[in-house]
Structures are given as structure tokens and as C-alpha cells.
Amino acid sequence: MFSYYLRLAWISIVRHWGLSLLMVCAIGLGIGAAMTTVTVNYLMSANPIPEKSEQLYYVQLDSWDVNDPFDDGLNPPDQLTFTDSSNLMRAQKAFRQNVQAQAFGVIEPEDPEMLPLIVNGRANSADFFTMFNVPFIYGSGWSNQSDESKEFVVVLSKETNDKLFGGEDSVGKSIKLEGNMFRVVGVVDTWQPKPRFYDITTGAFNESEDIFVPFHLIADEKISRSGNTNCWKPTGDGFKAFLASECIWTQFWVELKTEQEKEDYLQFLNAYVEEQKQFGRFQRPVDNRLSNVMEWLEVQEVVADDAQMMMAMSFMFLIVCLLNTVGLLLAKFLGKAPEIGLRQALGASKATLFSQYIIESACIGILGGILGLLLAYLGLKGVEGLYGDYMQGLASLDTNMAILAVGLALISTILAGLYPTWRACNIQPAQQLKSQ
Amino acid sequence: MLVMKNINKIFQTADIQTHALRDFCLQVNEGDFVSVTGPSGSGKTTFLNIAGLLETYTDGEFLLDGEDVGKLNDNGRSRMRNQKIGFIFQGFNLIPDLNLYDNVDVPLRYRGFNAKERKRRIEENLERVGLASRMKHLPSQLSGGQQQRVAIARALATDPRFLLADEPTGNLDSEMAKGVLTLLEEINQQGTTIIMVTHDAELAQRAKRTIQVKDGRVSELEIVSPQMNQAIA
Amino acid sequence: MLETGLILRALARNKIGALLIALQIALTMTIMVNAIFMIQDRQQQMQRDSGLDEANTFYLTNTVFGQDYNIQAHLQTDLHMIRNTPGVIDAIQINAVPLSSSGWSMALQHEPGEDKDAVGSAIYMVDEHAINSMGLELIAGINFTQEDIELRKDGQSTWPAKTIITKAFAENLYPDDWQSAVGKTVYISQTQPMQIIGIVKALQAPWNGWNGVERSMLVPFHRESKGSYYFIRTEEGRRDALMPIIEKALAESDKERIIRRVTTVEDTRKRSYRQHNATNKTLTTVVITLTLITGFGIVGLAIFSINRRTKQIGTRRALGATKRQIMSYFMMENFIISAIGNVIGCIGAVGLNMWLVSTFNLSPISFELITFGVVALFIVGQLAVLYPARKAAMIAPATATRTI
């Protein structure tokens, strides 16, 4: 019978093509709009490192002004002072730990014909690469020993390696960065976590870095730092004074394997803050936080307001489209009252009729879903074009989304078809069979 | 065999009660050709709707082929309509979206015949009404008489025991009407019981038996069976 | 209207159909009004004056990588060279560019001390050429002089003794009389005194999303830093021609630095408001499509209901109804449904707005906008029903007598 209903649905859709087109377009537009915004939100809130997002924690300490809390007191500061992150680093209390900041510098290629290169960099600890599962084409990250002995080592991005070494294995070679020679220890394969969770403060959807260098180089003034700096207390003169200041500009991540380790680490942080209080620092109440990757993205509101607002709007849009479909289906099915009466006379039960008309609704839903998928694809292309870099890589449909689109269309159309179908099944045959 | 005993049908709206059938009694035997006449509003259509299981009755007893119709639910009535009854209407009631083949196919689908069987029956019955060559046409491409023939083919496709016809010639000119009636007589001769509602006295007389309905009652019987005599008495 | 009662009774018999259209109109209204509101909000933000001569200004970054590089000497040569290029009006070194989204902020307070209230402001480190180079308008007080300009080293924590602030900032510091700000002493970095010597009409901060975007201050500094911007203003219409000339001249004069990101202020504005623009375009598309869907929905349902009533309409015509009366029947029917939809829609629009206000910090909607929404949807409804109503009016009276 299923194939028979499909055939009847197809005949009905084709015969009343105007009405069908209207419904398919309405559902297609609704699904298209909803899927476009859902995809953007889905990718914005995606887990960038699902395999260990529960074990990576971002550290926050409330070192702020006792008179004027950070973020109106809603959250502790989003970065740490150099003093605190250095102390935490030295303590080595976590399974792995990484202090980092954004950096930049100029590379002078050996080849005098090549122009110097300004690169965006990240100054970080050795653990960065293992903590965040950074993939390598050549070599690896540097070791903790390299950090301790303050070696001049560098990890290049694939792109930078392509530019400087034509994509060859450059491990062991040297580059001149900010006037100093650095030894290449590794080349990162294409790596672009979305969101770029390890540093939200400089843009959750920014590109990953061109080079990675040891964090201590910043303190030694061998490389310039960039990124956000926030101060609440005047600093003294000079870079030494700045490093010792209460300005926050470093980020600190730890890897903790179990809930127990997390508890212990929090204890350690609390003890650390209590200790610092004795030096007159941390005058605010203790408010130390450990947020895992997804919690941190949530706290930092990585999903833009605009995206959420659009999603809310698009779902209302979908509802309008469905109301439209309910109305049109109702019109269509009630228009078939004589046929329904006749089918009953010829032996169709209510259940049979119900199946027939629900299948017809579902067919329209699937057509609408396919159109919606196409429109969502165009919509995402449009979003990418309109928003530019900001949405780069955030506007792509995967299989999950495609299935969701058609599924959503199917389910919502079946829902929209329920009432009209119910009405159709309850048509009294006797009244329909009499000719007028 | 169709037996109705003291069937009442009352239509109830907010403030009006209409008694469409009052203690309606009738027996139709196997192989009969009964015509039902009566003035407009007499209840003959209500009788046909109840006989065809399209409508339920308020009280009374109705046996179709020995089965108590009052005990059937909606599904059961649908099955019985499909298996035992064929309908022919004044307005033909072909499905405009479907071609002739698919129109005749409708009751066969509900019956659950396999594709081969359906094809055989459709072709056979369209052949029988002389429209086999036009099975891919839509109803709108046919004349009224031809449409009614398709409706008859559709009604016969399931080999029903009873054929219920409501003014089958009402929308046809007299020439076509005669043709349709001849066809019905043939069908009756092959064993199908026919009940035909009509207000055309000339047509009614061609049936084996004529009954008249007046004010919801069977008021006159020309050929009276012994059992029915008792029932009325 | 004589027929209103008749229409109401007919609608009451087909409640669901009418209700579906009314709900659709209501939701359309809800979304439309709020979307237009959001569009207007963004447009207002985009129309704020940056204070700059946007059409004739551009900037570039100057990144020094040479070691033992005399930054100060090169700065003087560079500025001298740029300022003397024919077609250039003036040029400065600056630490940040308005609307570029990266910059520097500090807070000023009336009294010195750690626990005093302070008002944040964007900081632009410039020399006495700033007003001319950026195309600002000095509306009170005086400009810096060459003697005021100090050399700032990276990491320096002391500030110059003078500043020029924007009118919006002055209004914030001295709400009663912004002009009185001139000559007043305020404190930067909690304790360092600074005298306000002048007020410019407008100059936006680098961050367009910041609620203090109108608050900026100029401080007389030349920076001895490895990275800085040169901000250049040209004569009318010569900007595009001069951009590559100046880039080349700077790059060739000195091989120990990189000149990059030669950008016009117009492009910076575009980039800065790209999200705003994109969101507005998306919302506009939503509003238009939604209106179309609702319109077509009305057309579809009206055609259906007219097809179903063909015989009835024919009978009315046979009984003497004019085409006009038939048309007006359907127009009136739509008007009544629209009215119901609009009433629900008004409630919905205000409700959605209240949610947006509480969730996304939007401001409340205006009454005018709701009125606009109501009128617009009445018009859409009437236009949508026009074609079906005409079709109905064309039904021949003879239909009444035809069977089937």
C-alpha cells in the first residue's frame, strides 16, 4: 500500500502543482532559514577538542581592584598577571600546564631577495602541543628542558614553512626572528580549531598562529607580545615594572585527568591566593575558577548574540511557514472531500485515509526539505559573503546538518499535516456522495 | 440477503429533530433487483446510505448477509463496504485526478489484491462496460454516460454481492440512461443483487420489484414476500 | 458595511482557516516589527560621526625590525617626508586608528586616588598636527604646540600634562556645562594630573561596540616604539593616487622596517561595521521573504475558498450582486482577519521585544514602528486578496444554474 500512497501523493502534488509549489516553497524557505542559523550556531558552539575537552581547564584568579570588580563582579578577570602565571607554572601542580600570550615578530629570510615577514605568533610552554593535540608534519614541539634552559626554538605553521622552506622538512634549520636565530623543532600540520578555544580573548574565530615560540622569550624581551592587556593599577616605568604589575595579559591552561585532580588543583589555587594575600595582593574575596573547554566557551559567550537572535527569528519564520502549510493543506484536503467520501464508500477505513494523507504531507515535507537544504547552502554562502572573515569556516553544511534539515522538514510538515489529515479523515461520506 | 427491521434514523441538530426513517422494514433477497421510489425528502437516500453502511442508524436491526451491522465498528463497516457492496452515484463520483484505470483500481487496492489480480479485474471490468481502450484517459475527457459506465466498472470490480445505485441515470439523457439500465439488468442476471433509488417511475418499473418510501416508511410493496407481510402486520 | 455581520458569521463557521491566516499575520507582524527595529538600531549606530575626514584619510603600519635603530630620528624624517609630499595635507604618527577595533584606553577622574570614580576613554597619542591630519574640529580651547610633544618610551607610565578631549567626553565629565572643561585638571592613572586644553567636536574610539565610543582623548606623545601607525590626510580626491606613492617612498627609504596594511579610513569603517551591515541585509531578506510568504499564503487560501464557493458566488450574482460587491466581500473578509491578526501581532511584537530587551540589551520598540507594521500588513493583506477577489467577481451568474 505504501507505494500506492506514494503514487497517489505524487499524482495529487503534480495535479495541484500551484498549491504544492506554494507549500514546498514555504517549507523550503522556513527550513532554509532555520538551517542556516542553526548551522552557524552549531559550528560556533562546536566542541573544538572533543577527545579531551573535559580534561583541559582554563584558570581564573580574582586579582582585581578591591574597589571596582572586574566585569561588574560577574566573572573573575579573564586573564592572569605575569606574576601569577609564572608562579603557577613553577609550581607544576597539574599533569600538564601551559602559560601563553599572543606575540608577533618579523622574520628576515636568509634569501636577500625575499621580503621580511611579519608573523603572528604564540608564546607558550612546551606542554601546549601535547595538551591541545597539535598535529605535526615534521618534528614535534619543544621539550620542557628547552623551556628551562631558555633555548631559542620555534615551531612553524605549515603555511610559514611553505613560505620559508618551500614545504620541506625544516627541522634543525634556523630562522632569524627579531634579530635572533631560532632553531626549528617542528612544523604544525593544518590546524584550525573552531572556535579557537585556547585563546578566546583575541577572537574566538581567528586564524591559528604562524609561529610558536617559548613563553619566556617575552620576559626576556626577545619577542614582542600583543593581545589584550588590562590594568587596574598604575604600573611603574619600564618592562620589568610592567611584568611585576597587576596587569593581566597571560592565559593559563592546565590538564587534569580526574575529578579528584581537579579538586586538588582548586585547593592548590585557593592556598596560593591565601598565601598571596599576605603580600597585600588579592584583596577581593577568593574566587578561583577552573573551567573546562566547553564551560570556558560558554563563559566567554563565544556564540554571538546576533547568531542567537537570528536563530530565534528563523524559528519563528519557520513557524509562519508551517502555519502557511497547515492552511494550504487544510484547503487542499478539504477540497478533496468528495474524493474522500468516495474512498470511504469504496472501503477505505479512517486509518487507511490517514496514512494516505499523512504520506502526501510527508512527500511535500521531503520536497520542502530538499529545497530547504539547497536554500540553506545558498544562505550559508550568503552569510559567509556578508560577514567575511568572521564567519570563515563557520558556514559549511555537513552530513549531520543535511539529515537534520530533511528530518526537520519531514517532521514539521507531518505535524503541520496532522490537523488537516484528521479533518480529512472525519469527513462524512454520505454528505459528499450526493451530487449537488 | 439484506434484512432491515424497525430501523429508525433521527438527525439531531441543536434545536431540530428530524425523523428520516421510522420503523423501516425491508428484506431484499439474493438476486433481486429492487427499485426504491418516493418523493423528495421521503428518506430514500437515508435508506440507501444506511444500506450501504455509509451512515449509522439510531436504532433497529440490520443484517447484511447474516451479519449484524450494528455490531461493526468503523473499520468493520469499511471492510464490509469494500467486500460486499458496490456503489453507483448520480454524480458518478469519479476521482478527477486519476485516470480510468486508477479509478477502477481504488477499491481493489483497499481489498489488498496483488498487482496481477488487480490488473486482470480492472481490464476485465472496463472491457465489460466497453471502455477498455480508454483506460489512460481522465474522467473529464469522457461523456456523462461513459463516466457512469466507469463508475459501474469500478463498482463491479470487487465482485460485490450488492450493488447500490442512487439515481444512476439522473444526470444522463434518456438514450444514455437506457444504455446504463440495460447494463444493470445484465449485471443482475449474472447474480448481483441491485437496489436502485430513482424518482423516475418508468425506470423503476423495469426492476423486478418496486418499493415506495414515504415519510420514512416503506409504504407500498408491489411484490410482497411472505415474511415482510408479517413484519408489517 | 452591510455585509460585515454576514462575513463574521461565515468566518465563525470556518474558524480554523481564518485563525491560521490571522496567526500568520500576527507572527509576521511580530518578526517584521522587531527586525525593522533592529535594522534601525544598527543604522543609527553606523551613522554616528567618527569625527574624521573619512573620504580623504588613510593610514599604514610601520614595523621596525632592525636592531640599533634610531626610531626617533626616523620618525622625524618620515613625517617630514610625508608632510612635504605634494597633495598631502598633513600626517601624524598615532598609536591606534578610530573604528579599527584595536587601541588603548585609560580612565580619567576628577580627584586623585585609588577609590575614586573614573570615566574610561580611548587614548590617541599624537602631536600638534593631529587636528589637521584627522580633519577634527576644535570647538573650544587650543591645540597642542610643538613644545608640548613628549617622547614616550615603551612601558613608560607617566603622562603629559595636557590633553584635548571630545565634546562627548567633556559632557560626561562636566554634565552641567561641557565648555567649562577647558582649563580644568583631571587625573589619569589614578594620580597624575592632566589639564584639558581643548575640546574637539567628535572623535570616535577604536571600538564601535563600546558604549563610550564617543569618548576619546588626544595626548601629546611621539612614541619610540617598534610598531606604530602613520595617519595621513590628502587633498580632496588624491588619496587613492597617493597611497601607493607614500607606501613606496617609505619602504624604499629604509630597509629595516616593514610598511604594511595601507588602508583607507573608509575601508576601516566598512570592515568595522561589516557585521552590522551583514545582519541588516539578512534581516531585510527575512522581512521581505516573510511578507511574501504570508502574502502568497493569503492568495492561496483565498483562491481555494473562492473555488469552493463558486456556486454560492454565482448565486449571489444571479440574485443581483454587482462585481464590486463580490470583490468588497472578500476584501472586507481579509480586512477582518487582518485586524484580528494585527491585534495578536501587536502583543507578540511587544512581547518579543521585551524578551530581546532582557536577553540582548536592546532598547524598547517605538509606537510608530508598531503602527507602521499594522498599516503595512493591512496593505499586504488587501493586495494579496485583490487577485482572488477579482477572480471571484468574474464568476458568471450562470454558474448558479449549472449542475456539477
- One DSSP character per residue, C201-245 reads S----S-TTSTTTT-EEEEEEEEE-SEEEEEEEESTT-HHHHHHH
pLDDT band at B228 (very low <50, low <70, confident <90, very high): very low
Facing A306 at nearest CB: one of C23, C279, C307: C279
CB A193 within 8 A of CB A208: yes
Average pLDDT over residues B155-162: 91
The predicted structure's pLDDT at residue A389: 67
Cα separation of C45 and C66, whole Å? 42
Residues of B whose CB is below 8 A from C404:
91, 171
**Top-confidence residue, B205 or B104:** B104
Residues of A whose CB is below 8 A from C192:
234
> Would you call A327 and C20 a contact, using CB atoms and an 8 Å cutoff?
yes
Q: Return phi, psi of residue C13, to 5°.
A: -75, -25
pLDDT band at C401 (very low <50, low <70, confident <90, very high): low
CA of A330 to nearest chain B CA: how many angstroms apart? 18
Q: Which helix (H) or strand (E) holds B215?
A: none
Is the four-CA dihedral A113, A114, A116, A122 of positive or negative sign? negative
> Would you call A342 and B93 a contact, using CB atoms and an 8 Å cutoff?
yes
Counted across chains A and C, CB pairs separated by less than 8 A come out at: 144
Average pLDDT over residues A132-142: 95
Residues of A whose CB is below 8 A from C404:
435-436
pLDDT band at B225 (very low <50, low <70, confident <90, very high): very low
Angle between helices A305-335 and A399-425 (to 10 degrees): 30
Compute the mean pLDDT over every residue in chain A, rounded to the nearest whole number: 89
Is residue C404 scored above 60 in pLDDT? no
The predicted structure's pLDDT at residue C219: 96
The predicted structure's pLDDT at residue C169: 95
Cα separation of C37 and C284, whole Å? 11
CB C185 within 8 A of CB C195: yes
> Would you call C275 and A390 a contact, using CB atoms and an 8 Å cutoff?
yes
Q: What is the DSSP letter of A254?
A: E
Q: What is the pLDDT of residues B75-126, one digit of tens each?
A: 888 889 999 999 998 888 888 888 999 999 999 988 889 999 999 999 999 9
Average pLDDT over residues C75-91: 95
Q: What is the pLDDT of residues A271-289, one digit of tens each?
A: 999 999 999 999 999 999 9
> Would you call C155 and A224 a contact, using CB atoms and an 8 Å cutoff?
no
Write out the E strands in chain B. 2-12, 17-28, 33-37, 59-64, 67-68, 85-88, 162-166, 193-197, 209-214, 217-221
**Top-confidence residue, C115 or A425:** A425
Q: What is the pLDDT of residues B27-71, one digit of tens each?
A: 999 999 999 988 888 888 889 889 999 888 999 999 998 889 989
* A27, closest residue in chain C (CA to CA): C293
Cα separation of C312 and C326, whole Å? 11
Q: What is the DSSP letter of B141?
A: G
Q: Return phi, psi of residue A306, to 5°.
A: -55, -45
The fraction of chain B above a pLDDT of 90, given in percent, is: 36
Q: Which three cell numbers stand for residue B122?
A: 480492472
Partners of C194 in the β-ladder: C186
Lowest mean pLDDT among B1-5, B148-152, C307-311: C307-311
Mutant choice from A309, A364, A418 vs C, greatest count of C C-beta within 10 A: A309
* Structure-derived torsion over alpha carbons of residues C304, C307, C309, C313, reported in degrees to the nearest 10: 130
Mutant choice from A320, A336, A421 vs C, greatest count of C C-beta within 10 A: A320
How many other C-beta atoms can be found within 10 angstroms of the C-beta atom of residue A269? 22
Cα separation of C313 and C330, whole Å? 11
Chains touching chain C at 3 or more Cβ pairs under 8 angstroms?
A, B
Facing A338 at nearest CB: one of B55, B93, B112: B93
Compute the mean pLDDT over every residue in chain C, rounded to the nearest whole number: 90
Q: What is the pLDDT of residues A333-384, one digit of tens each?
A: 888 888 898 899 898 888 889 999 999 999 999 999 999 999 999 988 888 8
The predicted structure's pLDDT at residue C318: 80
CA of B25 to nearest chain A CA: how many angstroms apart? 21
* Structure-derived torsion over alpha carbons of residues A413, A416, A419, A421, reported in degrees to the nearest 10: -20
The predicted structure's pLDDT at residue A244: 92
User: CATH code at B75?
Assistant: 3.40.50.300
pLDDT band at B232 (very low <50, low <70, confident <90, very high): very low
How many other C-beta atoms can be found within 10 angstroms of the C-beta atom of residue B174? 11
The predicted structure's pLDDT at residue B230: 43
Chain B, 132-191: which have a CB under 8 Å from a chain C CB? 171
The predicted structure's pLDDT at residue C226: 84
The fraction of chain C above a pLDDT of 70, given in percent, is: 98
Average pLDDT over residues A205-210: 85
The predicted structure's pLDDT at residue C302: 87
- One DSSP character per residue, A60-109 reads E-----SSS-GGGGSS--SSEEHHHHHHHHHHT-SSEEEEEEEEEEEEE-
Residues of C whose CB is below 8 A from A33:
286, 289
> Would you call C311 and A436 a contact, using CB atoms and an 8 Å cutoff?
yes
Chains touching chain A at 3 or more Cβ pairs under 8 angstroms?
B, C
Exposed e or buried b per residue across B6-42, where buried means at least 16 C-beta atoms within 10 angstroms of its C-beta = ebebeeeeeeeeeebbbbbbbbbeeebbbbbbbeeeb
Cα separation of B93 and B100, whole Å? 12
Question: Amino acid identity of A385?
Answer: G
> Would you call B166 and A352 a contact, using CB atoms and an 8 Å cutoff?
no
The predicted structure's pLDDT at residue B233: 36
The predicted structure's pLDDT at residue A393: 66
Average pLDDT over residues A381-406: 78
CB B181 within 8 A of CB B6: no
- For chain B, the domain total comes to 1
Q: Assess C403–B contact: CB distance below 8 Å, yes or no.
A: yes
ipTM score of complex: 0.82
The predicted structure's pLDDT at residue A116: 86
Chains touching chain B at 3 or more Cβ pairs under 8 angstroms?
A, C
Residues of C whose CB is below 8 A from B171:
403-404
Average pLDDT over residues C87-93: 96
The predicted structure's pLDDT at residue B229: 42
Facing A434 at nearest CB: one of B45, B97, B106: B45
CB B25 within 8 A of CB B2: no
> Would you call B98 and A11 a contact, using CB atoms and an 8 Å cutoff?
yes
